[in-house]
């Protein structure tokens, strides 16, 4: 009997030892998440993009990446790293107001963008930090919060004068850090195509040049990873926050010709508007907008179509007005020059022009694989899957919709 107990005890120790060996397997190389701001889904199909072509041929290329509504930068960058729609992560626009305090969030206000109170979702670097994964971020929205537990261990503070080339250099510096200091997850935003798309339109020569600069940036990164001997060991995911569509020559919707703009508080002119007003005038403003409806749709908050996922947050205004793609809202036409804006986004996220790119390459991904449209809210659970960690449970993203792009093993 004593011998049997001794043998059983020995077997238990052996199993613990073997499981311990498995737990000590080498850590994965760094995963890099790159966003090319305003890079439309079809830009990769333009001529002379050798590095994008090489990357796609060696990895995964989706037909497009569907953003969330509204199709603007901050809401979508937060959806990518939280797996949540804006109504759930809190950043419902690039600019919005808290109607209870009258405080405003705007991406041009440093105090606002670093204040944790606006951000209700958990970004991937927060999830990773709790599970022992070191992260770094260069200019990714939401990465600079004034709360240590809610930001990456390494953060590059936003500076509009820092070029995309300098951002790539910073990424490469991080990859050269010694083990234990080197981040395992890096997120970086590059902004070559967004400004040019707005100013020159999607077919403008300057936009084409910006696309080629983006290709060159990718080539710089590939060359650096190859020289370091880690290109085939690193997983790289390339996305864009949204696409772009051309603004039509007769696109102006003059708001002051429809309603008395002095009676209400308006936000987010351009592709959509959010309107607040006293209860006594709310219905008359809504009725006027509805009666004069042309090239736009108007909704009371509880009428907003469910597929937009844009009703549940308390800061969403009582009246919501959405232009058709290519049309823009302006309050006063005399203060607006059409040549200031030849491209725009912010429209219905199901509009194909609003779609961005999704490309991925590395040891975890299938090779030479093309698939249909993916959803940006599924990227957060994909990141968790790649690291083998437990993500937040109550999110809008679903790993089942994207897991098929990974290698079968």
pLDDT digits (tens, 9 = 90+) for 304-320: 999 999 999 999 999 99
**What confidence tier does 176 reach under pLDDT thresholds 50, 70, 90?**
very high
Average pLDDT for 360-371: 97
Q: What is the pairing mode between strands 185-190 and 135-138? A: parallel
Q: CA separation (Å) from 51 to 109, 198, 209, 211, 216?
A: 36, 25, 15, 11, 7
pLDDT(25) > 50: no
Of 139, 159, 142, residue with least CA distance to 94: 142
**Using only C-alpha atoms, what is the Rg of the chain?**
24
**What confidence tier does 7 reach under pLDDT thresholds 50, 70, 90?**
very low
Q: What is the pairing mode between strands 319-323 and 296-300? A: antiparallel
**What confidence tier does 28 reach under pLDDT thresholds 50, 70, 90?**
low
Q: What is the pairing mode between strands 374-375 and 65-66? A: parallel
CA dihedral 215, 137, 134, 380 (to 10 degrees): -80
Copy the structure tokens of residue 199: 């100013």
Q: Is 142 left (phi over 0), alpha (psi -120 to 50) or beta?
A: left
Topology match between the domains 31-245+349-405 and 252-341: no
Rounded to an integer, what distance in angstroms lies between the CA atom of residue 317 and that of residue 235? 41
Q: In terms of C-beta density within 10 A (0-12 exposed, 13-18 middle, 19 or more buried), how is residue 143 classed? A: buried
Contact between residue 124 and residue 384 where contact means Cβ atoms under 8 Å apart: yes
Q: Is 326 left (phi over 0), alpha (psi -120 to 50) or beta?
A: left
Per-residue pLDDT at 105: 97
Rounded to an integer, what distance in angstroms lies between the CA atom of residue 115 and that of residue 109? 10
**What confidence tier does 207 reach under pLDDT thresholds 50, 70, 90?**
very high
Q: CA separation (Å) from 346 to 38, 94, 380?
A: 11, 10, 22
Assess whether the previous peptide bond of 211 is cis (omega < 30° from 0). Answer: no
Contacts 24+ apart (CB under 8 A), 303-312: 307/350, 308/69, 308/348, 308/349, 309/68, 309/69, 309/85, 309/86, 309/87, 309/396, 310/69, 310/70, 310/85, 310/86, 310/87, 310/92, 311/87, 312/87, 312/88
Average pLDDT for 15-40: 67
Topology of 252-341 in CATH? Answer: Gyrase A; domain 2 (3.30.1360)
Rounded to an integer, what distance in angstroms lies between the CA atom of residue 255 and that of residue 272? 11
Please say whether the structural domain 31-245+349-405 has been given the CATH code 3.40.720.10.
yes
- Sketch the domain layout of the chain as residue ranges: 31-245+349-405, 252-341
The 10s digit of each residue's pLDDT in 334-358 is: 555 555 689 999 999 999 999 999 9
Q: CA separation (Å) from 61 to 64, 99, 195, 359, 397?
A: 8, 42, 25, 5, 19
Rounded to an integer, what distance in angstroms lies between the CA atom of residue 67 and that of residue 70? 8
pLDDT(30) > 70: yes
Copy the structure tokens of residue 364: 């975890």
């Amino acid at each position: 009997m004593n011998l049997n107990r001794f043998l059983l005890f020995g077997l238990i120790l052996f199993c613990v030892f073997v499981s311990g060996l498995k737990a000590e397997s080498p850590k994965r190389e760094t995963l890099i998440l790159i966003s090319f701001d305003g890079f439309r889904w079809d830009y990769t199909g333009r001529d002379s993009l050798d590095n994008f072509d090489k990357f796609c041929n060696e990895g995964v290329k989706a037909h497009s990446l569907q953003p969330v509504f509204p199709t603007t930068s901050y809401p979508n960058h937060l959806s990518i790293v939280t797996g949540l729609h804006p109504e759930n992560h809190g950043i419902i626009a690039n600019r919005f107001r808290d109607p209870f305090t009258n405080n405003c969030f705007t991406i041009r206000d440093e105090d606002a963008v670093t204040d944790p109170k606006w951000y209700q979702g958990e970004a991937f670097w927060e999830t990773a930090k709790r599970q022992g994964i070191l992260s770094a971020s260069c200019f990714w929205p939401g990465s600079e919060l004034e709360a240590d537990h809610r930001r990456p261990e390494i953060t590059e503070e936003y500076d509009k004068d820092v070029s995309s080339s300098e951002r790539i250099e910073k990424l490469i510096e991080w990859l050269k850090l010694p083990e234990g200091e080197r981040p395992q997850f890096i997120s970086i935003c590059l902004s070559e195509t967004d400004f040019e798309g707005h100013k020159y339109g999607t077919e403008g020569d300057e936009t084409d040049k910006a696309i080629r600069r983006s290709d060159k940036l990718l080539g710089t990164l590939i060359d650096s990873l190859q020289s370091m001997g880690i290109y085939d060991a690193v997983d790289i995911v390339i996305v864009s926050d949204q696409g772009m569509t051309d603004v039509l020559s007769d696109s102006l919707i003059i708001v002051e010709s429809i309603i008395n703009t002095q009676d209400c508080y308006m936000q987010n002119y351009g592709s959509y508007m959010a309107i607040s007003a006293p209860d006594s005038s709310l219905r008359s403003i809504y009725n006027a907008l509805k009666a004069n409806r042309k090239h736009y749709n108007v909704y009371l908050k509880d009428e907003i179509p469910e597929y937009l996922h844009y009703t549940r947050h308390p800061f969403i205004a009582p009246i919501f007005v959405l232009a058709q793609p290519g049309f823009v809202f302006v309050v006063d036409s005399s203060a607006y020059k059409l040549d200031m804006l030849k491209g725009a986004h912010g429209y219905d996220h199901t509009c194909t022009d609003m779609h961005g790119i999704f490309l991925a390459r590395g040891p975890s991904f299938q090779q030479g694989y093309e698939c249909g449209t993916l959803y940006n809210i599924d990227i957060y659970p994909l990141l968790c899957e790649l690291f083998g960690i437990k993500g937040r449970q109550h999110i809008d993203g679903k790993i089942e919709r994207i897991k098929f792009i990974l290698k079968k093993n």
